[in-house]
Amino acid sequence: MNFYQQLEQKFRDNAQGSALLLPGDETWDYADLLSVIDDIALKLLDMGLQRGQRVLVQVEKSPENLALYLAALKVGLVYVPLNTAYTEKELEYFIEDSQPALYVGAHARTDVPSAQLRSRSHGCPLISTTLFSSVETGPPPTEVLDSEQLAAILYTSGTTGRSKGAMLSHGNLAANAEALCSAWGWREDDVLLHALPIFHVHGLFIASHCALLMGTPMVFLPRFDAAEVLQWLPKATVMMGVPTFYTRLLALSDLDAQRVQQIRLFICGSAPLTEQTFLAWEAATGHRILERYGMSETIINTTNPLEGDRQPGTVGFALPGLELRIANDAGEAVPVGEIGTIEVRGPSVFSGYWRMPEKTRQEIREDGFFITGDLGRVDEGGRVSIVGRAKDLVISGGFNVYPKEVEVALDKMPEVSEAAVIGVAHPDFGEAVVAVVVPHEQEVTLEQVDRALADTLARFKQPKAVFNLSELPRNAMGKVQKNLLRDAYANTFSDDA
Ligand code: AMP
């Protein structure tokens, strides 16, 4: 069975069970979800779309749009979700690159798309989702596909160079979803609180697939709004979020152990969870957040344990079935405890980048290991810690500085709310460590940072400049956009600065 057949089987078996709990007391059961999937699948077939063709989708989160994803899987299309924030100009690249047979999304509303977008779409129909609403019902056939069949292309956020499309098969999705349901002990009475966007691996695959594969309900919120999430928490048993969800909820005075007594598991990922947030959450709710680590190309790589110690600052153990090694540039495993690049191989690892064979060869080794680009270390017990992205590594005066280590030290300062560390060109050191901090109240000075870090970090790791911001620039998944910080402070040490 391909992944959608597996899901469909579950939906049918559990037709009367709740699938989506929505704001305004609306509920979809699995029979409702199945019928909307079938409607949309028919419409896609009516439009003449064929297995293997791409459907490029840039839509708001809604039950119908979740059904659109599942309908695309059902008829064997390749689903290509896009961040709703992308402009028409950015969209042109994705149309050019993915060569879709259909675009569904905001830029197809009546006043747009522009003539230019039309001319660049190579005849691909551009429609908005509302066009799906008037379709007649009737179950279309589910494509019989093998597990190698492409299910989706996820474009990486691409902070440098062209955005790359990671190709994931039905087999990749199924393997990861099954491994997660088992690792997180998914139960028949679980209710997932889902406030993540559905254009990204976290909300679309990791969160949704656990609930769908087990036929359990999701509280399906259109976006993350801390006050609204707080209201829904008593109805859920599991919440998945990015670190910002947790920091924003912590800022609300109504968060306490009583409110989350139904919850059995808080899961966090997509960006590093600070020790401060982990501890503050435990103090407020009694729960130790389970941090896990994943990415578009591999879905989930590691997770802290369901049973056993969840340690802040670590991302846990490789998922069963996935091989993980810490390697040097030649792909050889480095000794236990040393820092190197995290490489993974296993059934959820993508097959390559769409139309980029050269990039694929550079990043997937001949032995099948994918070079994640994340730097980390593994302890004797197999527990993984991430120290930063390889491209964020700062080399100052010939010494390697791992931003995470400096950020952890800065986070411990009582004056600092959060911090990001970057490397900036320096005439003497090549690169210098620069700290960008969000202060609690008054601006944090370089002298204060010097004093606070003097006994904890070697001199070469200490920041040579400190900038204060009211907040760090983050993308939709809560990742700090260090490229923007590097651009903003690029001239800090140059003569004309
Ligand atoms: P994306 O493909 O957008 O999901 O981005 C994947 C990247 O997010 C990974 O390569 C990591 O750099 C980062 N990431 C995901 N989860 C974590 C985590 N728990 N801690 C630190 N970084 C993470």
Q: What is the pLDDT of residues 197-249, one digit of tens each?
A: 999 999 999 999 999 999 999 999 999 999 999 999 999 999 999 998 999 99
**Of ligand 1's atoms, which has the minimum distance to the CA of residue 477?**
3
Percent of the chain's residues with pLDDT above 70: 95
Going by alpha carbons, the residue nearest to atom 10 of ligand 1 is: 295
Residue 160: band (very low, low, confident or very high) from pLDDT cuts 50, 70, 90: low
Average pLDDT, the chain: 92
Confidence check: pLDDT of 350 > 90: yes
What domains are defined for the chain?
Answer: 1-388 (3.40.50.12780), 393-488 (3.30.300.30)
Q: State in Å: Cα 302 to ligand 1 middle.
A: 11
Residue 397: band (very low, low, confident or very high) from pLDDT cuts 50, 70, 90: confident
Confidence check: pLDDT of 497 > 70: no
Pocket test for ligand 1, best of 304, 350, 374 (most atoms within 8 A of CB): 374
**Of ligand 1's atoms, which has the minimum distance to the CA of residue 386?**
21
Give me the mean pLDDT over the 61-81 stretch: 97
CB 375 within 8 A of CB 386: yes
CA distance 483 to 199: 22
* Amino acid at the residue 218: M
Give me the mean pLDDT over the 115-120 stretch: 71
**Of ligand 1's atoms, which has the minimum distance to the CA of residue 373?**
10
**Of ligand 1's atoms, which has the minimum distance to the CA of residue 389?**
12
**Of ligand 1's atoms, which has the minimum distance to the CA of residue 291?**
19
Residue 263 has a pLDDT of 98
CA distance 489 to 233: 40
Residue 130 has a pLDDT of 56
Residue 480: band (very low, low, confident or very high) from pLDDT cuts 50, 70, 90: very high
- Is 350's C-beta closer than 6 angstroms to any atom of ligand 1? no
More confident of the two residues 71 and 161: 71
- Is 86's C-beta closer than 6 angstroms to any atom of ligand 1? no
* Amino acid at the residue 233: L
Distances (CA, A) of 153 to 13, 96, 165, 218, 400: 29, 14, 5, 24, 35
CB 407 within 8 A of CB 469: no
**Which residue's structure tokens are 């920041």?**
463
Going by alpha carbons, the residue nearest to atom 15 of ligand 1 is: 270
Residue 132: band (very low, low, confident or very high) from pLDDT cuts 50, 70, 90: low
CA atoms within 13 A on the CB side of 465: 18
Q: State in Å: Cα 124 to ligand 1 middle.
A: 33
Closest CA relative to residue 72, chosen from 206, 191, 168, 195: 168
Tokens matching residue 277: 């947030």
CA atoms within 13 A on the CB side of 163: 20
Of 123-127, 184-188, 190-194, the least confident: 123-127
Residue 154 has a pLDDT of 97
Residue 90 has a pLDDT of 83
CA distance 283 to 266: 14
Confidence check: pLDDT of 288 > 90: yes
CA distance 41 to 391: 42
Pocket test for ligand 1, best of 289, 353, 407, 479 (most atoms within 8 A of CB): 479
Compute how many other C-beta atoms are within 10 angstroms of the C-beta atom of residue 332: 9
CA distance 69 to 430: 47
